Homo-oligomer: A and B are copies of this chain.
Amino acid sequence: MEHTKSTNTNVTIKDVARTAGVSIATVSRILNGSAGVSEELAARVNAAVDMLEYRPNAVARALKERKSRSIGLVIPDIENPFFPSLVRGAEDAARQQGYAVILCNTDGNAVEEDRYIQFLFSKQVDGILFIGGIESQGNLEMLADLPVPVVTLDRRAATGKLSAVVYDNYQGAILAVEHLIKTGRKKIAFISGPLKSSSSIDRRRGFNDTLDKFSLPVNEKLTFVGNYSFDSGYQAIKELIEKKESFDAIFAANDMMAIGAIEALLEASIRVPEDIAIVGFDDIRLAFWHKPSLTTVRQPAYEMGQAAVAMLIKQMSSTSAEVLEQKFLPELIVRKSTENQGAEHETKAIRE
């Protein structure tokens, strides 16, 4: 079945001007609420606008004004359960200010990141919210020289050149490990994220420092390097079980690995939390729904996305390129996976 495309596609400011019997300058003024417009002409113009169903051409406006009213949002992967909330927060904040969001998935690949940055620059985006992968150190430096405001969520950017929304991963790890220790666990296995990731480094540091603080030994045999995937958590604990290492708790550097770890435990008929307690990181929705539900360190993704875009817009409208930073603090969410039977019920500990 075919039908011809609607033809009166483009009604421009010129058509409105002609219909209303005024100049295009007048139409423009009225549309943009500029000063000095006679009531009468305004009425005629508005009538013409309604009648013709005129919609301003944002592309022409962008060319003239040199701002596109759109921002680029560069993330590793929207399918990673951490990002949907963040993206939603970012989008809500952007829309509220009339900005379009261009979504870019890079899989954390530095080459793709670079391609997308060039693409966005060419598209004349007014700002970029950049969340890189573990290889993006080089791109971060390049971004700092881009003549477009950039906000990142990466701590490494805090070289004083790039604005950032940061999260205290170190403190978060401390919260997690202290919780395990205080509920009586002593031999804590650790599943780290990728060694080069800055968030991962901070979480590892928090883990080590807390063990030190409580004079517990750091046992290398209980430490694994994962890649934040379900599978790497599963493999780590499977290996641990096969080697018959002794441990009574696990701290996983994110929730997906924690859930993978639980899978390995359950397959070996090890009970959670009775035999092994486990705490994750991020508080993705699955942490709540999983059986057993997962104790975790919450990262407020929606709010961070929102804050990042707010910061970006602030930078875009200021001429002095001040480098901003906003810090979010972790919060421990206690659920079933660390419940001490018989022990007094832990309450949700809020760390401000």
**Chain A residues packing against B (C-beta within 8 Å):** 1-10, 55-60, 62-63, 66, 68, 70, 73, 77-79, 81, 83-85, 87-88, 91-92, 95, 100-105, 118-119, 121-124, 145-147, 160-161, 230, 259, 266, 285-286, 289-291, 319-323
The smallest C-beta distance from A350 to any residue of chain B, in angstroms, reads 23
> Could you give 18 example pairs across A and B, Cβ below 8 Å?
A3-B161, A5-B147, A9-B147, A10-B66, A55-B118, A55-B121, A58-B124, A59-B124, A60-B63, A78-B84, A78-B91, A79-B84, A81-B285, A83-B84, A87-B103, A103-B103, A259-B289, A291-B291
How far does the alpha carbon of A84 sit from the alpha carbon of B86 in the complex, in Å?
Answer: 12
In the complex, A5 Cα to B8 Cα: how many Å?
A: 43
Nearest 3 CB-CB pairings of A with B: A9-B147, A291-B291, A6-B147
* Known interface pairs A5-B147, A286-B286; A88-B79 also in contact (CB < 8 Å): yes
Specify which chain B residues have a CB less than 8 angstroms from the CB of A124 in the assembled complex: 57-59
By beta carbon, the residue of chain B nearest A160 is B1
Separation in Å of the A89 CB from the closest CB of chain B?
Answer: 10
- Give the complex CA separation of A151 and B279 in angstroms: 44
A77 nearest CB across to chain B (Å): 7
On whether the beta carbons of A320 and B2 are closer than 8 Å, the reply is: yes
Docked complex Cα distance between A29 and B124 (Å): 22
Assuming the A-B contacts A321-B3, A321-B4, are A57 and B122 also in contact, with contact meaning beta carbons closer than 8 angstroms in the complex? yes
Contact B122 A56 (CB under 8 A): yes
CB distance from A142 to the nearest CB of B (A): 11
With A9-B147, A70-B102, A101-B102 given, is the CB distance from A123 to B58 under 8 Å? yes
Measured in the bound complex, the distance between the Cα atoms of B73 and A84 in whole Å is: 15
Residues of B within 8 A of A78 (CB): 78, 84, 87-88, 91
In the complex, what distance in Å separates the CA atom of A66 from the CA atom of B103?
22
Q: How far is the CA of A63 from the CA of B10 in the complex (A)?
A: 12
The answer to whether A92 and B118 touch across the interface, beta carbons within 8 angstroms, is no
**Chain B residue with the shortest CB-CB distance to A6:** B147
Residues of B near A105 (CB, < 8 A) are 88, 91-92
- A320 surroundings in chain B (CB, below 8 A): 2
Chain B residues whose C-beta falls within 8 Å of the C-beta of A147 in the assembled complex: 5-9
Knowing that A1-B323, A100-B123 are A-B contacts, what are 6 other residue pairs whose CB atoms are under 8 Å apart, sorted by A's residue number? A2-B321, A4-B321, A58-B122, A77-B88, A81-B84, A291-B291
B1 near A322 with CB under 8 A, answer: yes
Q: What is the minimal beta-carbon distance from A118 to any residue of chain B, in angstroms?
A: 7
- Taking CB atoms, residues of chain B closer than 8 Å to A102 are 70, 100-103
Choice from B2, B81, B100 contacting A119 with Cβ under 8 Å: B100
The complex places the Cα of A77 from the Cα of B302 at a distance, in Å, of 13
Q: Min CB distance, A72 to chain B, in Å?
A: 9
Minimal Cβ-Cβ distance residue in B for A119: B100
